[in-house]
Structure 1
Amino acid sequence: MNEKKIYLTSAEIASLWTGYMNDSMSKRVLGFMLKHIEDTDIKPVVQYAYDISSNHLEQLLAIFQNENYAIPYGFTEEDVNMNAPWLFTDTFCLTYVNHMSKVGLLTYSGFVSMSYKGEVRGYFTQAINETATLYNKTTEIALSKGVNARHPYIEVPKETDYVDSKKYFSGLNPFNDKRPLNAIEISYLYMNILTNSTGMKLCLAFAQTSPSKDIQDFMLRGKDISQKHIKIFVDTLLKDDIEAPQVPDTSVADSTTQTFSDKLMMFHMSLIVAAGIGNYATAAATSQRSDLMVNYERLSLEIARLAKSGADIMIKHNWLEQPPGIKNREKLTRNKEKANH
């Protein structure tokens, strides 16, 4: 009895394509890190991350071939200069992999929830489990080395309560005192400080190693935006006497040799920016003080403008690989009419 073929849905096609692009990029960055890392605690977990990306690419290629799915270009050995000088500290590599594992967990959970075909669901479920293991490994190493940034401690609640006034949601009136931050608001402010810190260091590394003026300007603009946003979030915490996170030493070396292709660096920043917009949207939705909501929406718009200018640069240089989509029916019809005349 022949089984009925189950075709991929648009969501599955999009998720598989995005997964391939992200893993092909990660493999190149992690491969460069592995060549230089000397810390015997950090190197194995970066190797684990590299192996995950390599295995994912093999599994995705098998799915593509089975589905007669055109293999994306993605990123290859040509997108990294393995002979370039060391660009990061070992601690930065640990922080970077930890940060990217958080991005991966959010991304893969979304992919699973949009997938129906058993093979695809199985692949993304496995990817979530591997990424969770990676997050736990990097967190444990950071804890053991004392280089992790813990969220602030606050007193554990001794009783439950309800909001008794609409003033709980206020915060925009400069003549009224703002209520203290709640635990949910603190956690998102803190998280967004950490993610902006990682993004800022990446922007610096990419700016100083790119030979292109427009890429340098874009990366420095991204660095300035991250610094500005960090200051806003830190000041918000300090107003409630909550200390800002002690970010570990994740400095960038002074190498100016091109390490990664401009195409890879711009794609990487588009991934970081998209994750940042998602973080801000979640933070805005869960924050109950109006001034925080307005801040997140305002800052999201600033990041969106950065993303737009990045996309313009990628299109200009023919670096922006087009995601799969449907045919333009109107264009097909017009072309058919032209051919008949």
Structure 2
Amino acid sequence: MELHHHPKLTSAEIANLWSTYLNDTAIICLLTHFSKHTEDLDIETIVKKTLDIAIDHVEKVGKILEKEKIPLPKGYPVKEHVNLDAPKLYTDIFYSDFIYNACRFALVSHVQALNLSARNDITELFRSFYQDTSSLLIEIIEVMKGKGIFIRPPYIPYPEERDFVDKQNFLVGWLGKRRPLLAIEATNLFDQAISNQLGKELLTGFIQVTKDKEIKDYLIRGRKLSTDIVHTVQVVLEDELIPNGMKWDSKVTKSTEPPFSEQLMLFTTSALNAIGLGKVGYSISMALRRDLVTSYVQISNQIMLFSEDGSNILINRGWMEQPPQVPDREKLSEER
């Protein structure tokens, strides 16, 4: 006997589909302007391929939500949030950096969605999204390496023998002799620097073109926060005499005409805050030196305060779409 079972979407599946749709509409806006102004042919190919993938993902997610009769997020329609006639705001190198980091975040997001999905069509959807993104990541890395603009994580000598921790001072980080960084600790510090440098460059461009004083002041705070985090990380790496090969050249043009709406710029900043918090949380979980944990906790607190202020601006202006939520049982019981 054939069983016919058509389960509804779970809370996790709804949440991941909804956020994927919303975030990808914002990415499409940014990439649409990038694609019009790319000068390097290799990077242009990657930008357009990334744009096509994002559009395809939005269409596939939209079909599922519509089939389930779940209202689509308004998201960020290109016609409302992009001025295609505005001059180029970022260099082609920034475009490649942006896509590289966007792919890395998307991979994590798709894996989390896949891990929490149960319905066959949803698991297949996020599996295909993961494949699209992983192939794109490999492609952008090859392009960046070919142009000499890919920044590798720090090199360290290979381990020569097995070893075991035999002293409690392995965890020490404030007083006394600190042990050298573990490879994973050095990697996460490097990743913090890379991510926050990208945020700093992105916000520099946003600050340059925004006309709204409240938003500009908020973005300036964000750029300072990113700068401080990069400095904190660099100091640790330099103290450990770890060669990191990081070179920071300006990737922002002199344009002052906004290519994006202020709502889109503020949302993008909020999205970066969420990514930053996730990265810091992971770094905390992998750090075994107390001084690193303390630094990460301080950074996390600063990002959370900054993020909350950004959310308040979005809410006050009626720009924040409410994500799907569970029923308010207490309110429902009071209505009876």
Q: Deviations over 1:189-218 (max 9, x none)?
A: 111100000000111111111111111011
Number of the residue aligned with 1:55:
56
Number of the residue aligned with 2:130:
128
Q: 1:91-170 residue pairs with structure 2 within 5 A?
A: 91-170=93-172
* Mapped partners of 1:282, 1:52: distance in 2: 28
Question: What root-mean-square deviation, in Å, do the aligned CA atoms of Structure 1 and Structure 2 show?
Answer: 1.3
Is 2:9 aligned against 1:8? yes
Mapped contact 1:97–1:138 kept (Cα < 8 A): yes
* Mapped partners of 2:332, 2:303: distance in 1: 36
User: What is the TM-score of this pair, normalised by structure 2?
Assistant: 0.97
Is 2:323 aligned against 1:323? yes
Is 2:239 aligned against 1:275? no
Number of the residue aligned with 1:24:
25
Mapped contact 1:46–1:93 kept (Cα < 8 A): yes
Number of the residue aligned with 1:306:
306
Alpha-carbon shift at residue 250 of structure 1 (Å): 4.9
Mapped contact 1:148–1:247 kept (Cα < 8 A): no
Q: 1:235-246 residue pairs with structure 2 within 5 A?
A: 235-246=235-246
Q: Secondary structure at the match of 1:137?
A: helix
Range with greater deviation from structure 2 (81-90 or 321-330): 321-330
Q: 1:204-243 residue pairs with structure 2 within 5 A?
A: 204-243=204-243
| Matching residue's letter, 2:34 | M
Mapped contact 2:170–2:289 kept (Cα < 8 A): yes
* Mapped partners of 1:268, 1:2: distance in 2: 45
Mapped contact 1:190–1:245 kept (Cα < 8 A): no
Gaps of at least 5 residues in structure 1 are none
Mapped contact 1:12–1:120 kept (Cα < 8 A): yes
* Mapped partners of 1:331, 1:245: distance in 2: 57
* Mapped partners of 1:140, 1:75: distance in 2: 31
Alpha-carbon shift at residue 255 of structure 1 (Å): 1.4
Alpha-carbon shift at residue 134 of structure 1 (Å): 1.2
Number of the residue aligned with 2:196:
196
Alpha-carbon shift at residue 333 of structure 1 (Å): 4.0
Number of the residue aligned with 1:64:
65
Q: Secondary structure at the match of 1:41?
A: helix
Gaps of at least 5 residues in structure 2 are none
* Mapped partners of 1:244, 1:230: distance in 2: 13
Alpha-carbon shift at residue 2 of structure 1 (Å): 7.6
Alpha-carbon shift at residue 251 of structure 1 (Å): 1.4
Number of the residue aligned with 1:39:
40
Number of the residue aligned with 2:288:
288
